[in-house]
Structure 1
């Protein structure tokens, strides 16, 4: 149970949302009329140090409740109140219905002072920022948020990615510039590699084919039965599609930009046929699990626990194998090259999750609010947000180097569940920063091994496939409608091509249909947005 909850937190912490929320009207006000800029605000606010305000103020905040503890009872918020002099009134809604509740609030015009811990979609930022519901933050950042300003000055791609086409910053992201994985990696069964005499993982598509063939025919689990499954998946949506398409030069399993700045939709590229041909070969020779397009995650997992699978995707290998502890016995997959020049390519995480914080035009103290959130972009603030206040779940082993150590949890509680009762940074995306100083002391030997695997096998080939761009409302509607129909068609045809229900001789006909459905028009929209992003 604890492992599952940890995985949920890991996955959600790096989730990037791209779909469109229905636009709901709100009470628009001129953003210049919001707040108390001027002598009154300047007299009460301290531009550095703590407390933030000399006379206590109260702000309302809306955010998603994952059900572990009430925000009003969390030690993080209590400590922030003592530190800053800012009291908070909490307007939470359950996480599974938060999007609906948030939209109702935005439609009502009765806004909280700020939103915390849920991603505004790019279209929301353009919509509600343009209406004046969300305040522009760039001037506040320049004057009152030195931690955020330093990050944006040092990382211009981050600044570009949170600046809307009208030149404003309306929301703040979660930033983790050390993030590597766009999706969880693939892993080799270490026992199989050892049994088959491998001292390094396959490097090319031909070598990968040979490995999968040997798994099928040489009984590497040693049970005397031909029950091995070389490669398994759930509809290829678990990441296998992305990793294998990279072997044929396709930068991501959807929209990506190449090194020359040209935008592509992977499923209408000529190299996509090479990918399909390779996967069809694996299917025909029973090297790709024939239940791939019909099984559930649970069914896939049971095969891993039975020690049947040679290559698989999972966030960590031990989640798939059923081991109780992480280890380095199952090596990370290294993306394999093909005969296509420049392969493999690897999609790298862009290092930020947008839309995790916003100030509304109801806020009469935006200067104090931006100072409050700016603390979470410092190492000390990020430590408290990640783990709760010092002295509870953790203590400093060396404060100068930010090395930390775990404390015993009360009554033997599970550490992750206890952490979720101290801080809202559990199962949702929160604003702030993650870096090695924040994690110092909590980096296990397994974490260090993962870092080494990343450096050796992924980072040499990795690049961010496409930046986080903004689309106009009309372009977003066009893209959303096009993608809805197009992705369904593409996935259906992928399964048919791979399983042989549709001969690859019909690939050109498939391409024509995809283009008629709007694939090229969608690429044009993203090309324009990408060009604007570059010039921003």
Structure 2
């Protein structure tokens, strides 16, 4: 545990920045007259680490005069463990960043490990200050229980993320229409299973498949249940200002009963829990998969990549089928603010210069740099818009992977520009995105709760065991080794014995304080 540290009087620290009038006159983003080097621990997605040699990092250093030198191991494979080890040693760099660190920033910030940024933003970061003024929901989401902001977040852009996809060529072959409700969907999947749409004379079709098995659980929304409240799996959600968890709702019982039946009928991939991340390539590439729920941009690309291997393949997005009560729900969307970003540690001797660097990323120039890469190298301005070069768009590597390799689109505190993704999204996906957004199928995503120390203790003590039990039971119900109706009363009793109501009460307390 990091000992509580004495607050730093950052207001008295003198910045070495250029006068504001000079910067404005020259549109110079230089923060320090002399080159200033600071350290950053940033390991993210279990395989990437900040590299000062990234083109984006080099360009930012050129423009601002500040170089962030990465100190996280580039061979590490567990970002969270590396963060924990750093905190245990107490040897903190100037800046700490990465994905899924919000709760850690709150926890250790309130203990003194990270600086409160409120005054620094107010006095030295005009672009960040304006962003928070324009987006009060974001400000609430990143404010710790003590009223302080300890990190600058990654802010997504756009609404749509994932959607339902179906083999239109299979529908056409069988003379079927796109399913409009859950009963029609059951009928279509049954036809996919029994009527040989791939034409090989075998009953080998897999009607519904998913790369990540929680996308199977997402189907509970077809019966008005919920599987999560955000863009992460298995999260709490809010209904009528009440903190709820989908796997404890009565609608979930009905949904599990139906999913277990669909699995028994062979409508769901029998290897959905074990096939893994390449199931999309395998099942579509072998003309076996009929329907999935996945990312718009990447999923729609299979019509082109598999055109020679699977002639006539036509995988298209379609509207969420209506539930028995008539609700069409797309549970997954882009959350308003990510739990990713970066913070200033107590060891930082240049907090003013650092917050100005953070602020630079929210200028028009900084936002383009961290979204698209280096102008003239990765993109050019065309009709006033950042447009990728033919080399980027025509590469064998996906554009997002190219960006990660140069230091763009990484989970620092920045504002994503959806134009980065739209450029490499094909017309099929764009039509699906427009459909989901125009028809308001995508439900609001919840940004989470900033817990106090006591609330966090309750959560950490009880929730891991509760969720493990829920997921184990969930899988047993679907696979048919247990029955949801026979188990339901004992299931609810068990989760309450494990502390579910205590966790729910702690989160409700935090929600009331933060949002109400």
TM-score tier by shorter-chain length is: 0.7 to 0.9
Counterpart check, 1:107 vs 2:107: no
| Segment drifting more, 515-524 vs 101-110 | 101-110
Write the mapping of 1:143-162 to structure 2, written as runs, cut at 5 A: 143-162=123-142
Q: CA deviation at 1:300?
A: 6.7
Counterpart check, 1:368 vs 2:353: yes
CA contact 1:127–1:473 (8 Å) conserved in 2: yes
| Segment drifting more, 360-369 vs 102-111 | 102-111
Counterpart check, 1:177 vs 2:157: yes
Match of 1:86 among 51, 62, 66: 66
Counterpart check, 1:352 vs 2:327: no
**SS at 2:486's partner residue?**
helix
CA contact 2:170–2:197 (8 Å) conserved in 1: yes
Q: How well do the aligned residues superpose, as a CA RMSD in angstroms?
A: 3.3
**SS at 2:508's partner residue?**
helix
1:74 match: 54
Give the distance between the partners of 1:295 and 1:440, measured in 2 at CA. 30
CA contact 1:45–1:368 (8 Å) conserved in 2: no
The normalised TM-score by structure 1 is 0.82
Match of 1:433 among 415, 435, 444: 415
Match of 2:198 among 221, 245, 256: 221
2:247 match: 267
Cα gap change, 1:301/1:53 in structure 2, threshold over 3 Å: closer, same or farther?
closer
**SS at 1:59's partner residue?**
strand
2:257 match: 277
Using CA pairs below 8 Å that are at least 6 residues apart, which structure has the higher relative contact order?
Answer: 1
1:142 match: 122
CA contact 1:257–1:264 (8 Å) conserved in 2: yes
**SS at 2:221's partner residue?**
helix
Write the mapping of 1:179-198 to structure 2, written as runs, cut at 5 A: 179-181=159-161, 184-198=162-176
- For residues 200-236 of structure 1, the C-alpha deviation after alignment (integer angstroms, 9 at most, x for no partner) is x2121111111111112222212222222222347x7
Q: CA deviation at 1:302?
A: 2.5
Q: CA deviation at 1:258?
A: 4.2
2:270 match: 290
Q: CA deviation at 1:437?
A: 5.4
Cα gap change, 1:509/1:108 in structure 2, threshold over 3 Å: closer, same or farther?
closer
2:231 match: none
Write the mapping of 1:104-503 to structure 2, written as runs, cut at 5 A: 104-122=85-103, 124-181=104-161, 184-199=162-177, 201-233=178-210, 237-242=213-218, 244-253=219-228, 254-298=234-278, 301-315=281-295, 316-317=298-299, 323-324=305-306, 329-340=314-325, 342=327, 344=329, 346-398=331-383, 401-406=384-389, 408=391, 414=397, 416=399, 419-421=403-405, 423-425=406-408, 428-436=410-418, 444-445=426-427, 448-455=430-437, 459-464=440-445, 466-503=446-483
CA contact 1:44–1:55 (8 Å) conserved in 2: no
- Give the length in aligned residue pairs: 496
**SS at 1:176's partner residue?**
coil
Q: List gaps (5 residues or longer) in structure 1.
A: 1-23
1:63 match: 42
Q: CA deviation at 1:167?
A: 0.4
Cα gap change, 1:45/1:120 in structure 2, threshold over 3 Å: closer, same or farther?
farther
- For residues 238-294 of structure 1, the C-alpha deviation after alignment (integer angstroms, 9 at most, x for no partner) is 41212x111222243444444411221211211111101211321333222333345
1:11 match: none
CA contact 1:191–1:221 (8 Å) conserved in 2: no
Give the distance between the partners of 2:210 and 2:87, measured in 1 at CA. 40
Give the distance between the partners of 1:101 and 1:474, measured in 2 at CA. 25
| Segment drifting more, 434-443 vs 299-308 | 434-443
Write the mapping of 1:511-526 to structure 2, written as runs, cut at 5 A: 511-526=492-507
Give the distance between the partners of 2:366 and 2:260, measured in 1 at CA. 51
CA contact 2:371–2:417 (8 Å) conserved in 1: no
Q: List gaps (5 residues or longer) in structure 2.
A: 229-233
Cα gap change, 1:349/1:90 in structure 2, threshold over 3 Å: closer, same or farther?
closer
- For residues 154-206 of structure 1, the C-alpha deviation after alignment (integer angstroms, 9 at most, x for no partner) is 2111110000010000001110131433xx4342122212212344x212111
